[in-house]
Amino acid sequence: MGVTLSDVALKAGVSRAAVSRTFTAGASVSAKMRARVEAAAQELGYSPNLLARSLTTRKTQLVGLVSNNFHNPVFLQIFDLFTKGLQERGLRPLLVNLSDETDPARSVQMLRQYSVEGVIVATSHLPDGFARAFRDGGVAVVHAFGRPTGQTDVVGIDNVAAGQMAAQTLIARGYRHLGFMGGPEQASTTQDRLAGFTAAARALGGVVSHSFAGAYSFEAGRVEMTRLLAHPRAEAYFCADDVLSIGALSAAQAAGLGVPDDLGLIGLNDMHMAAWANINLTTIHQPFDAIVSGAIDLMQDRFADPNRAAQTRLFPCHIVDRGTLRAQS
């Protein structure tokens, strides 16, 4: 802090332009000059001010990473992947927690004030007008884990297909009475997974019921499953999220039910925790690394061509067989 380009120029006895050029990749500087400047810079402990640089280059390398899922452990994995992926490409994530924000427009405003080049929204639900506000501001937005709209770049999975996959799996394992436990009813992920699940189950001769937990959380899953168990229940449930499944699993165990013998459970995500020995959840794997790097790719594509049409990139899921569903019959 404090040591500027001019200081280095002065010390090295050269012009400011010369110093600038030695610090910009691909500029033409003689080896002698470069050595001289670098020596001076070294001695002074200089490093260029990226914020000032951005003024003329119009490149900040800043990216907004926006989410409101700070309670579902899977998002720690997701943040890990995003931060690593962005760092590898020289981008810097400005983390925005939307949880308590009543007015998302304020976050949009703030991100624009910091001249972010792109924004990655990692939520199933994107607040209205969010994407448009950024597009109008010339900021690349990618919606990770969202529902395709054709208006915005979206990267994720086909949630309808995932629901179908769950239903097919349950039927194939010999379950007939199937239940779907969603997260919040408004969440597009819940809606789409339910739609796919119900359609496929019916098509295969299954009987389907469904209900919703209040949140994508352990407690919501536990409470909802406890409620369900008080009534005539399904033979197997598809919970729309792993953490929900773990709550449901806990409720089943508390009720003295054997899983998978008395009750089958299948989740979705395949978060690390699903593999924990005391959980051992059969679940649908969502390819997080592909989604994350796909999202970053799409964002960078848009840096290159701000006017290209919106793209949707969906990756295939697969079943990870563990201990909460009985074996193929």
The continuous run of DSSP H or E covering 141 comes out as strand 140-144
**Interface with DNA in residues 36-65 (CB under 7 A):** 46, 48-49, 52-53, 55-57
Sketch the per residue contact string, 106 through 135, with a second copy: x for CB under 8 A, - otherwise: ---xx-xxxx--------------------
Please give the full DSSP string across 228-284, using - where no structure is assigned. Answer: HHTSS--SEEEESSHHHHHHHHHHHHHTT--TTTT-EEEEEE--GGGGSTTT---EE
Sketch the per residue contact string, 81 through 100, with a second copy: x for CB under 8 A, - otherwise: --xx--x----xxxxxx-xx
Region of 328 on the Ramachandran plot (φ > 0 left; ψ -120 to 50 alpha; else beta) = beta
Q: Establish if 18 lies at the interface with DNA (CB under 7 A).
A: yes
- Give, as one character, the DSSP assignment of residue 34: H
Q: Establish if 16 lies at the interface with DNA (CB under 7 A).
A: yes
Retrieve residue 122's tokens: 């990692």
Please give the Cα distance from 81 to 145 (Å, whole number): 14
Q: What is the closest distance, in whole angstroms, from the C-beta atom of residue 277 to a second copy in the complex?
A: 5
User: What SS3 class is residue 168?
Assistant: helix
The continuous run of DSSP H or E covering 54 comes out as helix 50-57
Sketch the per residue contact string, 213 through 232, with a second copy: x for CB under 8 A, - otherwise: -----xx--x----------
Nearer to DNA, 27 or 95 (CB): 27
Q: Establish if 28 lies at the interface with DNA (CB under 7 A).
A: yes
Stretch near DNA under the rule CB under 7 A, chosen from 27-35, 142-150, 186-194, 286-294? 27-35
- Cis link prior to 260 (omega < 30° from 0)? yes
Q: What is the closest distance, in whole angstroms, from the C-beta atom of residue 276 to DNA in the complex?
A: 48
* C-alpha R_g of the chain: 25
Nearer to a second copy, 30 or 47 (CB): 47
Residues near a second copy, by CB under 8 A: 1-2, 45, 47-52, 54-55, 60, 65, 70-71, 73, 75-77, 79-80, 83-84, 87, 92-97, 99-100, 109-110, 112-115, 136-139, 218-219, 222, 246-247, 249-251, 253-254, 272-273, 276-278
